[in-house]
Amino acid sequence: MNLLANFLYSGLNLTGIPRFPFMLPLCLSIAIVYKTARCNKLKDIPIATLILWITIVVGMVLVGVGLWILFTIMA
């Protein structure tokens, strides 16, 4: 079995903080698709996408920290 097939078959075993970088391209693709559908002018898409991407990532981090704090208090 070649390396790529082995990687896709077995997957990655990531837990904790190392999973965070995998969230960034997913959020970026969501922001690109959303802003491409919403912006009227093509030149507005890059900056609007960047702002939305940062908003999504910061929002997800804040929700995660909030849930972590809530879990720590309740545990």
Whether residue 1 has pLDDT greater than 60: no
The pLDDT of residue 7 is 74
How far apart, in whole angstroms, are the C-alpha atoms of residue 34 and residue 49? Answer: 8
Half-sphere exposure of 61 (CA within 13 A, CB side): 12
- Angle at 61 (CA atoms; ends 11, 17), nearest 5 degrees: 40
How far apart, in whole angstroms, are the C-alpha atoms of residue 22 and residue 6? Answer: 20
How far apart, in whole angstroms, are the C-alpha atoms of residue 66 and residue 62? Answer: 6
Alpha-helical runs (H) found in the chain:
3-10, 20-38, 45-74
> What pLDDT, in 10s, does the model give residues 27-64?
999 999 999 999 999 999 999 999 999 999 999 999 99
pTM for the whole structure: 0.79
